[in-house]
């Protein structure tokens, strides 16, 4: 895309850019959704038509310029219709994670002064009913799925989306030019969306983002990695996460790609096979899950297939080092790599739905270099990105032929980077937020000196790549003052197929210790293959054979530790999976380290008392309906020899 055209697009608001798309490629498919097993398509013309209905309908029911509408639900085209419809009339959209509990929704709605809420289905509407008295500013709740909503339709607090469309259509019939006039009033620097931060340290902050922020991100990304208008993208990340908005608001509008919506969260990986995307973006957990599926498929394959895989994965890892660095591959290795891809890896990634994939991106948290190289070895061009909500998701990215697994790449076009004297990563870009909603003090800290302060520690290596160490607040020092990154060690552990999550401790202590979550699918299969019976996750995690398996994984990590104080001395296998609903993980899967330590304080203390090898604890389980139950269980603690 030439500079003149980019400058032109940066003068648009998102609804104005949508209108421009209609004029240039109105009949092309913009959105595709799977519903009841069938794929339904929306052209750019139809997309704009729905946005017009919504915009005029929202204005009719009282949403005004500057008002905020919250969106809660799974990814569906209607989520975009509502968001862009609101933005068309000068209102501001805001996404809330569909897993958010009612009390937190109440706090967020109050904080953002929300006046209208859009819910996908009855499950989300019921949350609003529960907190109705706490959010008197909410004047209307719009819902998309009418199932289970019969009784609610008698209450004018609720509005079915089809009725909203009808309201908008009636206004358009009476005033045909009204919507175009509203769209014309939009300015690229207007705030159009509040994106909530992950809430690692408390209640999420509303990051104010402008039309220009999103469009600039779409243009920057497509300049670094060209995207054709015929490319397909699959939308399965939570809409409330910046990674999804970056693609649906920014990349799709700037490049004209098609967004595909799976039938449900549960069927997303199966629907992926039918979509065959050309590029995808996901948090590390998605790639960890796919990796586990690959290992299970190999484990269940015939002995010859396993033999071929084990041989060619070594070839693939060698070839990956050449491919990632852009160096010429020796002819013999190139042939073996091609043969391995054709015989083993091509059929494998075709089964997963990644055969047409040209590029895959991961962000939101660090991905271990081993897992990164694994994907490159099997022919999936996975690349690390780094950024944050406050810069629309991406500031740094690997380029093809210049992929270094221990870095996050170089700045995107139009992005500047420097490291402060304290070692903090600072950035400048047209994508940087104007600040946090109703938080002037925090906004000043965030943007002090005209630079975006990431809160992350890092450095720029000799190749110009950014290396992220950890959150400044999370970097630890042992009792001897030696520094280490808990995230770095956690990623090392999580490369093991048997470990799903790990929480590292050791700040101001004599040694490093950790709590480990086993992967229930992979370890469950491992146990079944060896005739080890179990009932629940708690039962499986307490098996001594499983402890021996995990001990081998920790021993392997320790053997490759760069320095002695990086080695893990004590560990325990946690009786439950860390969970977002229990507050142990953020909505994007990051560990809330302080919360976990406080919640499992008794286990933390036992890890640092080497006289304790077993401890009885009361396991508390919180269910989504708010009920809880407790079970007593024994936790074993293990000390690694020679550490």
CA 280 from centre of chain: 11
CA-to-CA distance for 549 and 545, rounded, in angstroms?
Answer: 6
**pLDDT tens-place string over residues 197-208:** 876 556 789 999
Residue 158 confidence (pLDDT): 97
CA-to-CA distance for 87 and 90, rounded, in angstroms?
Answer: 5
CA-to-CA distance for 588 and 582, rounded, in angstroms?
Answer: 14
Q: Which of 358, 359, 402, 367 is nearest to 386 (CA)?
A: 367
pLDDT confidence bin for 434, thresholds 50/70/90: very high
Residue 202 confidence (pLDDT): 60
**pLDDT tens-place string over residues 272-305:** 889 999 999 988 878 888 888 888 888 888 899 9
Residue 208 confidence (pLDDT): 98
For residues 253 and 21, is the Cβ–Cβ distance under 8 A? yes
Q: Which of 469, 474, 541 is nearest to 504 (CA)?
A: 474
Three-state secondary structure call for residue 328: coil
Residue 624 confidence (pLDDT): 58
The string of DSSP letters for 427-477 reads EE-TT--SEETT-HHHHHHHTGGGSEEEEEEEEE-TTS-EEEEEETTT-EE
Could you tell me the domains of the chain? Answer: 3-278 (3.40.50.12780), 281-471 (3.40.50.12780), 477-639 (3.30.300.30)
**pLDDT tens-place string over residues 410-425:** 999 999 999 999 889 9
Residue 299 confidence (pLDDT): 84
Residue 619 confidence (pLDDT): 77
Given a cut of 90, is residue 597 above it in pLDDT? yes
CA-to-CA distance for 427 and 434, rounded, in angstroms?
Answer: 14
Strand (E) or helix (H) holding 178:
helix 178-184
Residue 589 confidence (pLDDT): 77
CA-to-CA distance for 2 and 327, rounded, in angstroms?
Answer: 30
- % of the chain residues with pLDDT over 70: 97
User: Which residues partner with 493 through β-bridges?
Assistant: none
For residues 182 and 90, is the Cβ–Cβ distance under 8 A? yes
For residues 374 and 291, is the Cβ–Cβ distance under 8 A? yes
CA-to-CA distance for 464 and 364, rounded, in angstroms?
Answer: 22
pTM of the model: 0.85
**pLDDT tens-place string over residues 235-260:** 988 999 999 999 999 999 999 999 99
**pLDDT tens-place string over residues 45-93:** 999 999 999 999 999 999 999 999 999 999 999 999 999 999 999 999 9
CA-to-CA distance for 10 and 618, rounded, in angstroms?
Answer: 57
Residues sharing a CB contact under 8 Å with residue 347, sequence separation 6 or more, in sequence order:
none
Given a cut of 90, is residue 146 above it in pLDDT? yes
**pLDDT tens-place string over residues 552-596:** 999 999 998 878 888 999 999 999 999 887 888 887 778 888 899
> What beta strand segments (E) does 211-316 contain?
232-234, 258-261, 279-282
Three-state secondary structure call for residue 355: coil
CA 572 from centre of chain: 28
């Amino acid at each position: 895309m030439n500079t003149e055209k980019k400058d032109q697009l940066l003068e648009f608001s998102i609804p104005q850019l949508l209108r421009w798309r209609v004029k240039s490629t109105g009949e092309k498919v913009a959105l595709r959704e799977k519903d009841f097993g069938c794929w339904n398509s929306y052209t750019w013309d139809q997309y704009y038509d729905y946005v017009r209905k919504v915009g005029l309908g929202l204005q009719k029911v009282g949403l005004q310029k500057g008002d905020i509408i919250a969106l809660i639900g799974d990814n569906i085209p209607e989520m975009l219709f509502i968001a862009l419809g609101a933005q068309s009339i000068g209102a501001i959209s805001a996404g809330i994670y569909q897993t958010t509990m009612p009390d937190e929704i109440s706090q967020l709605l109050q904080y953002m002064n929300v006046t209208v809420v859009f819910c996908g289905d009855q499950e989300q509407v019921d949350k609003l009913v529960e907190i109705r008295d706490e959010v008197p500013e909410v004047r209307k709740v719009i819902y998309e799925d009418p199932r289970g909503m019969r009784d609610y339709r008698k209450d004018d607090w609720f509005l079915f989306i089809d009725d909203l469309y009808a309201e908008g259509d009636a206004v358009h019939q009476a005033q045909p030019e009204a919507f175009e006039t509203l769209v014309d009033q939009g300015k690229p620097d207007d705030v159009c969306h509040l994106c909530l931060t992950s809430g690692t340290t408390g209640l999420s902050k509303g990051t104010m983002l402008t039309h220009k922020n999103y469009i600039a991100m779409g243009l920057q990304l497509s300049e670094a990695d060209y995207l054709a208008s015929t490319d397909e993208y699959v939308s399965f990340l939570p809409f409330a996460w910046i990674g999804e908005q970056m693609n649906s608001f920014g990349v799709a509008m700037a490049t004209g790609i098609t967004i595909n919506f799976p039938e449900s969260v549960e069927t997303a990986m199966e629907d992926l096979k039918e979509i065959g995307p050309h590029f995808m973006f996901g948090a590390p957990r998605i790639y960890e899950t796919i990796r586990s599926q690959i290992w299970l498929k190999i484990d269940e394959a015939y002995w010859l297939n396993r033999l071929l895989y084990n041989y060619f994965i070594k070839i693939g890892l060698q070839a990956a080092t050449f491919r990632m660095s852009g160096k010429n591959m020796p002819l013999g290795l190139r042939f073996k790599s091609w043969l391995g891809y054709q015989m083993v890896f091509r059929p494998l990634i075709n089964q997963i739905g990644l055969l047409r994939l040209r590029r895959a991106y991961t962000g939101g948290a660090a991905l271990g270099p081993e897992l990164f190289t694994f994907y490159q070895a099997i022919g999936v061009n996975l690349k690390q990105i780094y950024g944050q909500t406050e810069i629309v998701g991406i500031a740094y990215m690997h380029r093809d032929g210049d992929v270094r697994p221990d870095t996050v790449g170089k700045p995107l076009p139009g992005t500047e980077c420097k490291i402060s004297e304290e070692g903090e990563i600072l950035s400048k870009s047209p994508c940087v937020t104007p600040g946090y909603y109703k938080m002037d003090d925090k906004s000043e800290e965030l943007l002090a000196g005209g630079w975006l302060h990431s809160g992350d520690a890092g450095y720029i290596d000799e190749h110009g790549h950014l290396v992220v160490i950890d959150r400044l607040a999370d970097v630890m020092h042992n009792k001897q003052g030696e520094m280490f990154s808990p995230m770095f060690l956690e990623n090392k552990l999580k490369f093991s197929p048997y470990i799903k999550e790990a929480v590292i401790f050791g700040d101001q202590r004599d040694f490093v210790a950790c709590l480990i979550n086993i992967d229930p699918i992979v370890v469950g299969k491992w146990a079944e293959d060896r005739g080890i019976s179990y009932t629940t996750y708690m039962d499986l995690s307490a098996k001594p054979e499983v402890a021996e398996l995990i001990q081998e994984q920790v021993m392997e990590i320790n053997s490759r530790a760069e320095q002695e104080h990086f080695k893990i001395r004590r560990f325990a296998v946690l009786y439950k999976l860390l969970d977002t609903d229990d507050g142990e993980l953020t909505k994007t899967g990051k560990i809330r380290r302080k919360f976990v330590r406080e919640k499992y304080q008794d286990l933390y203390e036992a890890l640092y008392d080497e006289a304790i090898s077993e401890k009885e604890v009361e396991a508390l389980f919180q269910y989504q309906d708010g009920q809880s139950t407790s079970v007593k269980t024994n936790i074993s603690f293990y000390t690694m020899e020679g550490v």
